[in-house]
Structure 1
């Protein structure tokens, strides 16, 4: 996914996140939403509220605990009114936050357990900048929008987007000041009773109503059958916690296609990516296929409706190509400009074909598969034609003609592809995993075409066989640990040295022989890549290694999950279990909500570092956690305690 850096006031890992797509609220650990940084209530890529601070003017307030999950959070404090010298507070304040798609509710409840009445003054300081997500992510200065107030509401508007904050109880006073407002309540709590007020914020306005309909992804419908249906909870309590938290987050990140609200897909991640990303949505659905095909089918159709139909260089669109991302408006961060509908990805098209095949094999109804056959044929043509721009039989990407993404594989930051000596690899680049995805797409696409009586299947098998031989001749390198596939071929068709996690994505695709797969498994098992908390994106021996870089040495849970499933498919369970156990150990550090990525420095200290701007939750991190837990639970079902021992190399070969 597209990523640009900024320096937040507080790392996202230190904030409390409450999610219900397409909305999310980020606050401090005490529940306060403070202006500046990334805190705020967001809806559909806009910050709707940037400040919501609760104060008790004539009392001492001490936070004592919080809980959150399932679209809600509760922040509790003890309150000592001025003049109360008792050691135990008799008054508690509970702040219950509920996020729903398109709205935020805060119920403030005082509880008096004392024997006499208590009076305090409650102040709510609120403000909004109505900032697009791109401005927030870029670290732009906070510029508040002027507020208006009347009766029991406060309003902010920039002429297009607006938000209204209301209270269900008449305030004593509302003052507009410093670009925000102060809403004051006189609170009197009788002995052994409660007092409460509920605040609600909802966005509206012409921009929201008039935006491109294809980008206005809505909430998942409620009341129907569950999207994620696990056949059984893991017996291991740690795995059960990890699966429970991950499925809860995934449920909160479901979005619908406005062209058919029955079709669901997963938003990529909170808070930066509450929208459709082709690669992320496809991998997330693929990792969750053991739980059913509904998500996969909705993802496939949502992307098929937006499949490229013509050449439009300004957004990298080509006929048959699956898009990279969709936004409400152009995203401008530093020197990168992403148009609202952007196709700058080299791998999403092949991943779409693979998901269609895997969903079909997993039970997606034949008529639904048949309806997507024209899109399948268009995708295969793109892979063999536009994807192979120079006609050498391999798929490569070159820099965009405009200010789009420099790299267009999953490691899409500008520094994502490096030589072992630290130099940047020169595009056009032919990534190793993209060749594997394309090979699998051609073979699996041919299987679908055969099954539906289309006679062109053999053409795609022959095309795949030629790609397989080119890969074998061109990609293999060796270092001190042994042979491995290069991350890419550069502009001069030279294999880029330096071991990376990309090679793990080649496993399980059919591109490699069993002997070659064993070499890859051996290379992944070495300590420069297997760091004890998962798979590093880049070898610790590389000059470009930085454990807290985005793609040059960090650990991504989804990346490790793909490696685990690929190793399992090839029968290399010792390495698969080691990597899987590492991610579970990391999840315990992150309270069972895995972030987008994290860092593990070199050495034997076992230190785990948070990446300050990592999405948390993130769809493919949560989906990867479910896949890893399913794999380990499956190993345990064969009489092996997969979380704590090294299993034999036989037994379960694949969880997909």
Structure 2
């Protein structure tokens, strides 16, 4: 053997001879549940660490792999259907050898996997077809596990302590994996096989497949995410109904998922052009929007994105609603209703919350419940509050929905009070932010990385910071609120808000403008010095 002549000291160096790990993924989502698979439809332990089935910010399935004997099938194709409802994967068998002799040539057996998420349950159908001239016998093996990791653990946050795994329950057709968190919430993954496996253990299901030439067989699996914290109104039925929900057939679940998306699209304006490629782009955009839309007790809300941000974010939801307002104002109403219901009522430094402030982010996982991360209800956003008022004004202008606007007017006035009292703590006329939470965001505008705001020499800007665009949002919010007040018959408040907006505009132009740059400064730092970048 040739002696190694290159010495590598890096701990995480990957040799060129290492097995290649495919990092392309396939994503499904419904409600508060989403799933991330590799292109084979598997959830592997290695490789891309985000693979899994997640429900309410916890990974309920961390391993789910399909093998034929000890071999992974060969991939033919893998795609998410155009409506984002179903994952379809085409596979075939590799060469099966006995004593170096091929007994089943590759491509003899076709394996078609299709998956759909519906009401916190992943339904899968595995269809196996023998295209060979002779009968075949195969051992189909599914390996599974659930580590119940919090989504922040998956993202790399270390924990000193975790809860405990519960004893796994195994019946002829069902495996129940359980975990009791430090938050005293019991989470379970219920895996049901139909037909029952020939051998079922705590981590594997074996099926003996015997097919004559031209025959096919179907195998079904339903994986339910269950939690003591689930309740009616959290996008699926309560835990007590879990067994009946897993009994729902794959075909029925797929039909319901497709029908739900079709109904949603039927309620919107339809766009089409003479250019098919442009139409495909429109359809893809529409399907993606429908995937992130989530039913809440307050109405529809567009979640920020899968996988790490599949939850309600204030800024993201508002901007999405603004962009969709002209063709789907119902989404804006849902966003306004949800954020009004979550509006901060009291001061809480660890949540960066003050009365009237609009939500930045919410989480439902174990770490959020325990306060290990502040994001159960987190308000560390300097722009969500004025953006909320802007959306309320735009919604009223678009719809004339007087009844709804009157119902959220108290929330609008509380938001305006927050802007004046808490947003401008030093009384200089500009809205600034400074983190109060020990674990919250350092920067709280749309650029929220830890080094987002700096001076021209590269030095980080020290707060409190007044961002350029936030002053524009406040200006627009005051004018929007004036329009709402006028629509509700309060002309005095409307005139006062317009006057405040005009004064802010004048102060902003005088303070933020940089003649030598011919533009406005990025921000003002805590010493009122402009960030001239």
State the TM-score, normalized to the length of structure 2: 0.83
What's the secondary structure of 2:530's corresponding residue? coil
Per the TM alignment, residue 336 of structure 1 is displaced from its structure 2 partner at its CA by 8.4
Matched, 1:381 2:417: yes
Distance 1:243 1:97 in 2: 25
Distance 1:389 1:153 in 2: 58
The 8 Å contact of residues 32 and 55 in structure 2, kept in 1 or not, is answered as yes
1:190 to 191, 212, 235: 212
Q: Please name the residue that 1:352 is paired with.
A: 388
Higher RCO (CA-CA < 8 Å; seq separation 6+) = 1
The 8 Å contact of residues 227 and 295 in structure 1, kept in 2 or not, is answered as no
Per the TM alignment, residue 245 of structure 1 is displaced from its structure 2 partner at its CA by 1.4
1:174 to 181, 185, 200: 200
Q: Please name the residue that 2:305 is paired with.
A: 269
Aligned counterparts, 1:592-631, within 5 A: none
Per the TM alignment, residue 452 of structure 1 is displaced from its structure 2 partner at its CA by 1.4
Specify whether residues 90 and 246 from structure 1 end up closer, same or farther in structure 2 by C-alpha distance, changes over 3 A only. Answer: same
2:127 to 109, 116, 126: 109
Q: CA RMSD in A?
A: 2.9
Q: Please name the residue that 1:29 is paired with.
A: 39
1:99 to 117, 123, 137: 117
The 8 Å contact of residues 52 and 60 in structure 2, kept in 1 or not, is answered as yes
**What's the CA shift string for 1:359-409, capped at 9, x where partnerless?**
111115221112111112221222122111110000001121432111111
Matched, 1:162 2:188: yes
Matched, 1:61 2:87: no
1:402 to 417, 420, 438: 438
State the TM-score, normalized to the length of structure 1: 0.68
Q: Please name the residue that 2:498 is paired with.
A: 461
Per the TM alignment, residue 175 of structure 1 is displaced from its structure 2 partner at its CA by 2.8
Distance 1:378 1:458 in 2: 18
Distance 1:227 1:466 in 2: 45
Distance 1:450 1:277 in 2: 30
Per the TM alignment, residue 132 of structure 1 is displaced from its structure 2 partner at its CA by 1.3
What's the secondary structure of 1:65's corresponding residue? strand
**What's the CA shift string for 1:301-338, capped at 9, x where partnerless?**
11111212222223222222111112124757xx9831
Matched, 1:483 2:532: no
2:59 to 47, 57, 63: 47
More displaced stretch, 124-133 vs 270-279: 270-279
Per the TM alignment, residue 200 of structure 1 is displaced from its structure 2 partner at its CA by 0.9
Unaligned runs of 5+ in 2: 1-11, 15-19, 181-185, 238-256
What's the secondary structure of 1:338's corresponding residue? coil
What's the secondary structure of 1:385's corresponding residue? helix
**What's the CA shift string for 1:106-164, capped at 9, x where partnerless?**
21111112333211110001011011111111265999956432211111111310111
Distance 1:323 1:149 in 2: 43
The 8 Å contact of residues 58 and 151 in structure 2, kept in 1 or not, is answered as yes
1:300 to 304, 321, 336: 336
**What's the CA shift string for 1:227-279, capped at 9, x where partnerless?**
86234224443432222112112212222223x4xx11111111112221111
Per the TM alignment, residue 99 of structure 1 is displaced from its structure 2 partner at its CA by 1.6
Pairs aligned (count) = 477
Q: Please name the residue that 2:283 is paired with.
A: 244
Aligned counterparts, 1:195-594, within 5 A: 195-209=217-231, 216=234, 222=260, 226=265, 229-258=268-297, 260=298, 263-329=299-365, 331=367, 337-454=373-490, 455-477=492-514, 482-498=517-533
Distance 1:383 1:11 in 2: 49
Per the TM alignment, residue 438 of structure 1 is displaced from its structure 2 partner at its CA by 0.3
Distance 2:316 2:63 in 1: 31
Q: Please name the residue that 2:86 is paired with.
A: 72
Matched, 1:148 2:158: no
The 8 Å contact of residues 129 and 144 in structure 1, kept in 2 or not, is answered as no
**What's the CA shift string for 1:396-429, capped at 9, x where partnerless?**
0112143211111111121121223322111100
Distance 2:465 2:383 in 1: 12
Distance 2:236 2:317 in 1: 15
The 8 Å contact of residues 22 and 38 in structure 2, kept in 1 or not, is answered as no
Unaligned runs of 5+ in 1: 1-6, 499-656
Specify whether residues 349 and 64 from structure 1 end up closer, same or farther in structure 2 by C-alpha distance, changes over 3 A only. Answer: same
Distance 1:184 1:133 in 2: 30
Specify whether residues 143 and 158 from structure 1 end up closer, same or farther in structure 2 by C-alpha distance, changes over 3 A only. Answer: closer
Q: Which runs of 4+ in 1 moved over 4 A?
A: 9-13, 83-88, 139-146, 216-221, 329-332
